[in-house]
Amino acid sequence: MNRPATTAPFAALTFTPANRSGLRTAPSSTAWSYPMTATNARTTPDNATQESQTMTTETADTTPSMPQPSRRLLKIRFDYQPTTPAIEALTPEKAHRALDRARSDYLDKRERLKQASGELARLQKTVSAAEAQERQAGKSWRRAFLEGAGQQGREVRDQQKQAGQWRIEAEQKREMIELLTPQVEWLKLHTQLAREEFQRRLRAAQEVTTHHTLLAEAEKLFDGLESGAFRASLSGLFSRISDDLCNDVSYMLQYGLDVSSQPGEGIFTHLNDREGFAVRHEIRKRQYAALGELVWHLLPKTATEQPTALQGIAPLDCEANGKEWGSSLARRRRMKELEETMEYVPGKTQQ
C-alpha cells in the first residue's frame, strides 16, 4: 500500500542560474496532491478470475486520481531530469486511457489464444490416446486370430471393428489439428503484438505519471516555505560549494591557474567567457547534487508498490517468447503465410 502523503510547511523552490554564486530561489504558492509511487513495475501472476473480470467489451475506468503540478512547473526545462517522448506528448489522463485500451485488447487476444491453445493440446492428447488404442486393438485381434487357428470369431471381428474406429478417430483429430495449428500460431503472433503495445503503453503511463507526481509532490512539499533560516542556510550552502570549487587546486589546474591563495569567486576575473561558463555549470551541478543528497537522506526508505493500473501482467505459458519471428518484416511475412493456409481468419473471413 502507498504511504499517505505527508504535508509539510515548505514552498516550491525553482533553482535558476543567477550570478557567480550559482543559483537563486523563487517561491511558488501553488500546491496539488498525489501519492508518490515507486517507478519500477511489479509483474503480477496470471489469475483466471481476475482476467475474466478485466476482459469486458468496455474496460472499466481504472485511471487513478491524476497528479496536477502547476503549469509554471510543467514549463520548466530541467537540465538533469531526463524526458521521454511520452512525457513530452502525453498527460497522465491520456496515457492511462491509452493504457486501458491496450490492456483490454491484449487480455482479449490472449484469452482467445488460451482457448485455442488448450483445444489444440487436448486434440493432440486425443490423437495419442486413439493411436495407442488402435495399436492395442490391432494386437488383440491378431492374437485372437492366431490363437483360433485362423477362425474369424466374434472376438476377432469386435477387435477389428474397434481398431478401425480408433483409426478413424485419430484421423479426424489429426485433420482438426492441421486446421487449428496455423490459427494458434496466428493468434500467438497477434497476442505478442498486443502485449508489446500494452508494454509500450504501460511504460509511457509510468513515465508520465511518475514525472507529474514528482513535480506535484515536490511543489506541495515546498508550498508555503517562509523560513528565512532555511533560505539563508541554503544560500550559505551554495556559496560554500562555489568557493570550494573555485579554490580546488587540482580542478583549476586545467585552466592553468594557481588557487593556493584561496581567491574564491574572484577567480572568475582570470577566466574567459567559455571557461567561466564551464565553471559555473559545474558549480550548478554540485549545488543540485548537494540538495538532492539532503532530500535523499530525509526521504523514508520504505518501498512502495505501483498502483494496480500501472502494474504489469505476467505472460501465459501459451504465449510466444517475443523472438520466434524476428523482425517486423518477418512477422508480416509470416502473418501473410499463415492466412494463406487458414480456412478461417478471425475478423477477416466473411461468414
Q: Quick: pLDDT tens for 92-128.
A: 999 999 999 999 999 999 999 999 999 999 999 999 9
- Reply yes or no on whether the pLDDT at 73 is more than 90: no
- Reply yes or no on whether the pLDDT at 282 is more than 70: yes
- Ranking 239-253, 262-276, 303-317 by mean pLDDT, the lowest is 303-317
- Ranking 84-93, 177-186, 225-234, 264-273 by mean pLDDT, the lowest is 225-234
**Which of 134-143, 217-226, 267-276 has the highest mean predicted lDDT (pLDDT)?**
267-276
| Overall average pLDDT of the 47-69 stretch | 50
- Note the pLDDT of residue 143: 83
- Reply yes or no on whether the pLDDT at 129 is more than 60: yes
| Overall average pLDDT of the 44-57 stretch | 41
- Note the pLDDT of residue 343: 87
Dihedral angle computed from the Cα positions of residues 158, 161, 167 and 169, in that order, rounded to the nearest 10 degrees: -100
| Overall average pLDDT of the 301-308 stretch | 78
- Reply yes or no on whether the pLDDT at 65 is more than 80: no
Nearest one of 229, 239, 264 to 22, comparing CA atoms = 239
- Note the pLDDT of residue 41: 41
Q: What is the pTM of this model?
A: 0.68
Q: Which of residues 226 and 104 earns the better pLDDT score?
A: 104
Neighbours of 332 (CB within 10 A): 12
- Note the pLDDT of residue 232: 84
Taking only the tens place, the pLDDT of each residue in 2-42 is: 444 433 332 333 333 333 333 333 333 222 233 333 334 44
- Note the pLDDT of residue 37: 36
- Ranking 148-162, 240-254, 264-278, 331-345 by mean pLDDT, the lowest is 148-162
- Note the pLDDT of residue 238: 93
Taking only the tens place, the pLDDT of each residue in 142-193 is: 888 888 887 878 888 888 898 899 999 999 999 999 999 999 999 999 999 9
- Note the pLDDT of residue 33: 30
Q: What percent of the chain has pLDDT over 90?
A: 41
Q: Which of residues 311 and 26 earns the better pLDDT score?
A: 311
- Reply yes or no on whether the pLDDT at 324 is more than 70: yes
